[in-house]
Structure 1
């Protein structure tokens, strides 16, 4: 009965976060005394990140994501999980074995009767895994696992298939957004992966590549910049983004071309090393957006273009441009010589005029609607 009801919740194709939350909640209701958590194991960042959960205090989960995930003594236990096989912490790494740690003395007491767990890897990716964890009091370990073990083994294939389906959907949606973004641009635009592969290109970019005078798309869909110095600049920019170092968005990366036909290559970093939510399970391949512009166009005044396109004031346009460079609102406000409260007020007005609700949406909209002008 438990298995059938839980399997039915995630039986729909590519269940979203709300469906997984409902699954976590219903699991804890059907197995009293448990708390449930879906978590991503990031092997690149070497940390564990919660996805959705039920039964834990949200503030404590946030602390885990920002602090204790990097201090979790159970991390080695999580790394060695075998696919679709439930594993018990009390058998492999009991909490009593790390009583001297900050995690045991500060974090565990606050989450309440959750000093043991049964975990199972339900999805395995190139850089990240996903696991389902059932937490409970260590005193109930043996008794609870007479139920948990067969239930998890039966649900494992269903959860694994649902996660795989979710990843396929996220990849497709992400590719569609990349295509829509570059197609909205007038100048040649290329979304490039860290290995140089072109993931999206607009009609102007395809035409420029066919000319094969400045750039071309070579074997394996690799972007080839036909200037040694410019190619090196692009490679260095990609390496910078891959390392996680800051690269100023919208900056002129390099110039190429012959006298009278000089172009600039402008770069926008796109790679998110950890991402958010279930996006963690399907990290974006996109590394940078490269826009090739005739040098003459760079003389345009972006502040005026934003004022005309969205009705922003000059101050709002300057703030929006700074935010496109990748800085936070406090950093940008300080750079512009205004208070944080003034910056927040201007940003609220910008959101209303551009019809977005978050900074990430603002940057994406400015790129897709007028990135070619900036």
Structure 2
């Protein structure tokens, strides 16, 4: 490796793991590896029979990848068939064409004659890996242009070095996608419950607050990132502090997991429920510092049981902030009350309300109330 100039394996590996969190980066990461081994591009193929057509390729060979997957050529890939027949598809193996097919066989093989030659591809070097979760085989391949000769020893060694990381990062891409879909589902469920969340670390300090949590906590809780939350109503301070102490992870079992918290200045109470996060910090390297932690679930139990209309208003051209203001004002809240609930300036609310009137072609609050009432009745 030291004799190879311009090859930075750590940078290539880091690029793959960065792509695991941002799928848009995969093309650049694969192109970087292709350059390091003298290939036109690079592609990852799953050999699970249920999803063999699923691939991930660099932009340089996007047309090849499309023809391979959508065009159905993956079903006729003789390299895969021959590799299995000759025992070359074992995880951890690095292969080149010469290991399982001769030049004469290529000239008579339909896959090479009608697919490889048409795309002017030459030799191929591949790392065979196993999915860490289900153990199905995957391959990370780098095809050369037709005019280039066989892969050299240093190039094969490079691909074998980064190959295991490419396979792991590819699997992480799928896991991250699944996780994001689950989080979106949870967010939708919380929205349907009209609930907000506040994430606290093991010492009770605020780490994350959802937008709904910020909205619901206004007037009830003082929330500042890195600080322990406090009750906004002075008379509730001692009771909330005891509640928080009970639900922190140091306790063997919470003595009180839920609380009805009074609002500063009066009004209906806020329901607060604690969901302890047992165990260590799931992402210590990310600096979350949860160390177990607690999720506070906030709900306004006495709020009108109406379905959220903000998505409908957004479809009519309003921004998310404007839709929220329109819904609250249209249901009878004054701009000052909306500003306090959303913890923004009253001038901001009035400016957003002016934009709402313009986009909905209405002139006064009474017309907005009629409009929102009709949406609520849908």
TM-score for the superposition, normalised by structure 1: 0.43
TM-score for the superposition, normalised by structure 2: 0.42
User: As a proportion of its length, which structure holds more helix?
Assistant: 1
